[in-house]
Structure 1
Amino acid sequence: MLNSATDTAEHTKNQKFFDRCARPLGLRVEQLSVPADQVASKALRMASSHSLTDILELDGSELPQFAETGGLRPLAELAVTTSGFSRGAVSLGSYRGTRYGIARAVNSLALYYDPDKLEKAGVGPPRTWRELRTAARKLTGGGSYGLAFSASPDADGVYQFLPFFWSAGGNEARLDGGEDGGGGGGRAALRLWKELVDDGSVSKAVVNWNQQDVNDQFVAGRAAMMINGPWQVPALEAQRKVDWAVASLPVPHRGTAAVAPIGGTVMTVPGSGDEGRRRNAAKILTCLNSPSNQLAWSEAVNNVPSRTAAARRYAGQNPKLAPFADLVTTARSRTARVGTRWPAVSDALAGAFQTVLTGRGSPETALRRAQRQATGGE
């Protein structure tokens, strides 16, 4: 298996699950782990030399480029089922309606907050954008901002912008609206981010912060709330400086659902190699995605099971993280609408919010330019 489990603890946890599934079959799984941003290029090099591993674990956003070349076997041909999985999890591993990858756990974003600071300010966890802006203002002061998020010009910033963009109706296939609509949602999301910065409730430095920087600000007491994912839980549990809780993401208006990006990796079976090895790989994937294994793995890495029943059980056993389990039910794949165009769309979105937050353009002009960039017009 080629994956990105370079962290010693994650690598070791992975191996325990692989061994659990492989030993009854008389098999052994060997992990070849490289940094996450090198998995795709490593896989392409290995494929060109006909040495690709039996299982390839990719970030969900990278799956389309491999599926488009015909280099992956459809799960249906391997008798690997995703029945009972959340719609977002299925979409994460699909390309043009065909399932190629299976996610045993997924993640998304939510609103973390310091209960003590909110209580002192007399505010509750904000549920709407209006409440978010009001609460952020009241929570700002004494060396602490009301809210922190990542607006870096890369995948981190785009991942954090998408919940605002999508929840307002933004359309990644037509960033400026056009005939498909969605421009109003994009403009509203950009205006909200700009208003929070102009209010002084969010640091101007967010244009340089990745998601780890955001968590560092929160832990240091320099932000009362933050947008972040469940991967920050180990760091939060390891510190004693601030208390923390998790709430759902604020939405434009009451009664609307938060739409966040679904994140995580998907395990795929390359089309090359021996048919017998492919069948064995399929058996490993089926075992790894049993309800009990999904639940155990999710608890080990603070993610949410992709099976809806297992996700409900996870929420019951981990009430502090229950908002993440709720959010992944409406979460969307970044590549579902645009497929292999996602990298260009992502870069264009990053350029749009960087332009607006640094005062170099309005939401309208930034989105028009983003659409030209995303479609190769600039």
Structure 2
Amino acid sequence: MISTRRTLLAALAAVGTLVPLTACGGGSGSSDSSDGAPSGTYTFWDPYPQLDASSAWGKLVTSCGTKAGVKLKRTPYDTTDLGNKALLAAQQGNAPDVMLVDNPVVSTLVEAGILNKTGDLGLDTKSIQKNIIGAGTIDGDAYGVPIGANTLALYYNKKVLSAAHVDPASVKDWDSLTAALQKVKAAGKKGITFSAINTEEGSFQFLPWFWGAGGDLTQLDSAKGVAALTLWQQWVDKGYAPKDVLQNTQTTAWQEFATGDYAFGENGTWQLGNADKAGFDYGIINIPGQKGGSAPVPTGGEFVTVPVQEDTARYDVSKKIVTCLTSDENLLPTDTTLMYVAPTSAVQAEQVKQNPKLKPWVDAVAAARGRTSGGLGTKYPTISQPMWTAVQAALSGSKSPQDALAAAQSSAQKG
């Protein structure tokens, strides 16, 4: 028990680099049935407080409990709280029966020993795209089922580019993108907006440029990593990107792009609905690599997981709930509502059939990487925080990109 407590505390510290530490709260894994039979109340946590019980998602959760023969009590938390609450609940022995968590948190929960392997539960993940399930796979074993994925690309304003005599098809690498930004500024408009905030959102948005230069997260201060940070620094210094990128979340970065004054906005699949409401014609291109081609982009999205329970008889019902939430039949409306790209090719094809604007996003997700993939696992948070700190230092002018990333690498090694 002591070693388990220590592991959980260490895991809490790791998640704490991603999100603020908060007090425990929420549901419990208790059942109305004293013998653990498939009846009574099961608990489910998710990161969608913006979706109430009357939403399509809320109704799906309720119906999946009904189909499993139980009442499914749903407790939504903000994404930034959910990981820590899960760890604290496990420490106290009242983890929920089923939990939907952000994909980088999966490895931390696995290290803490509180998630079941999908294989042990008999959950089938064969049809899921390998790079999508890879974000929740540790040492060859999957620990959850993804409901979908999102990622990043560049939205562009057709009118702004046209006025600056920029063909979006000409943007193929960093040089051509920077040249486009120069023309846009000369035409009296604004260049590009993104999020460089000192949270995981900042790292998430920096990764395509870091990876697009060939950067390796185990060596933040390589020449390739420095090139990526230098690109962003030069954009801010030359006025191609606003200085408020340092405070921009992905939401506020989108709001800037939605003013119609910017040529480009780095943002995600989840903004498609807002893009249609923006009031101007837009297009989407993949984020270019330094020397051309599409840069690797990070996968976002959540995994449906089954926390370890003392009463293992509960797993049969939990499996039914997970299967219901992640069935092709339910993934299509769920991923359409949440603006996710589905994790299976069959559902992706149906999504594109219904909404052709999703095609570039399906292509982007196919080439995306999990932030914790490549064996990083729980090391990722100890790399991400120094990385976003380096971005802040370089863009604010307090350090050169080289010095900022050298400090980040030193910090990551200590972590």
Structure 2 length as normaliser, TM-score?
Answer: 0.84
Could you tell me whether the CA contact under 8 Å between 1:152 and 1:206 is conserved in 2? Answer: yes
Contact 1:148 1:223 in 2 (8 A): yes
1:158 corresponds to 2:203: yes
1:304 partner SS:
coil
Partner of 2:214: 169
Deviation at 1:142, TM superposition (A): 6.7
- Which residue of 346, 357, 369 corresponds with 1:320? 357
* 1:106 aligned counterpart, secondary structure: coil
Measure, in 1, the Cα distance between the counterparts of 2:224 and 2:252: 27
- Is residue 8 from structure 1 mapped to residue 46 from structure 2 by the alignment? no
Change (3 A) 1:275 1:304: same
Q: Percent identity?
A: 32
* Deviations, residues 241-298 of structure 1 (Å, cap 9, x unaligned): x3322221122123x3420000011111011143232121112212222223222211
Partners of 2:51 and 2:57 within 8 A in 1: no
CA contact (8 A) 1:314 1:325 kept: no
Residue 367 (1) aligns with residue 405 (2): yes
Q: CA deviation at 1:217?
A: 0.7
Q: Deviation per CA, 1:71-113, whole angstroms, max 9, x where unpaired? A: 1110000111211212221112122322101111110001101
- Please say which of residues 286-295 and 74-83 is displaced more in the overlay: 286-295
Alignment partner of 1:350 is 2:372: no
Deviation at 1:236, TM superposition (A): 2.9
Residue 258 of structure 2 is aligned with which of 219, 236, 260? 219
In the TM superposition, residue 308 of structure 1 has moved relative to its aligned partner by 2.5
* TM-superposed deviation, 1:166: 0.9
Letter in 2 for 1:210: T
1:309 matched to 2:346 = yes
- For 1:276 and 1:195, the matched residues in 2 are separated by 58
Q: Which residue of 1 aligns with 2:102?
A: 59
Q: What is the Cα deviation at residue 10 of structure 1?
A: 8.0
Aligned equivalents of 2:220, 2:53: Cα separation in 1: 37
Matched residue of 1:5: which SS?
A: coil
Residue 48 of structure 1: aligned partner: 91
**Is the contact made by 2:270 and 2:339 (CA closer than 8 Å) also made in structure 1?**
yes
Q: Give me the whole-angstrom Cα distance separating, in 2, the residues matched to 1:215 and 1:45.
A: 34
Task: Number of aligned residue pairs: give it.
Answer: 369
- Alignment equivalent of 1:231, drawn from 252, 270, 275: 270
Match of 1:111 among 127, 148, 154: 154
Distance in 2, Cα, partners of 1:25 & 1:43:
23
1:19-55 per-residue CA deviation (whole Å, 9 max, x = no partner) reads: 4434333233221112211112222232222221110
Paired residues of 2:115 and 2:307 also in contact (CA < 8 A)? yes
Alignment of 1:267 onto 2:267: no
SS of aligned partner of 1:50: coil
The Cα of 1:9 is off from its aligned counterpart by 5.0
Tell me the equivalent position of 1:70.
Answer: 113
Are 1:192 and 2:231 counterparts?
yes
* Offset at residue 12 of structure 1 (A): 2.4
* Conserved? CA contact 2:53–2:59, under 8 Å: no
TM-aligned CA distance change 1:212 to 1:142, over 3 Å: farther
Aligned residue number for residue 87 of structure 1:
130
Q: Distance in 2 between matches of 1:308 and 1:364?
A: 41
1:141 CA displacement: 5.4
Q: Which moved more, 1:10-19 or 1:58-67?
A: 10-19
Letter in 2 for 1:163: P
Give the alignment partner of residue 330 of structure 1, picking from 330, 347, 367. Answer: 367
Query: What do residues 139-159 of structure 1 show as CA deviations (whole Å, max 9, x unaligned)?
Result: 225763111111111111111
Q: Give the CA RMSD over aligned residues.
A: 1.9
**What CA distance in whole angstroms lies between the structure 2 residues aligned with 1:8 and 1:266?**
17
- Aligned-partner SS, 1:263: coil
Q: Which amino acid aligns with 1:269?
A: V
Structure 1: how far apart are the matches of 2:54 and 2:213? Answer: 38
Where structure 1 has 5 or more consecutive residues not aligned to the other structure, the ranges are: 177-182
Instruction: Tell me how far 1:219 sits from its aligned partner.
Output: 1.1
Distance in 1 of aligned mates of 2:401 and 2:119: 43
For the residues of structure 2 that align with 1:273 and 1:81, how far apart are their CA atoms? 24
Distance 1:267 1:339 in 2: 18
Q: Counterpart in 1 of 2:283? A: 245
1:38 aligns with 2:81: yes
The unaligned stretches of length 5 or more in structure 2 are 1-43
Aligned to 1:129: 174
TM-score (norm. length: structure 1)? 0.92
Q: Distance in 2 between matches of 1:303 and 1:10?
A: 20
Matched with 2:163 is 120
Alignment correspondent of 1:145: 190
Give the secondary-structure state (helix, strand or coil) at the position aligned to 1:375: helix
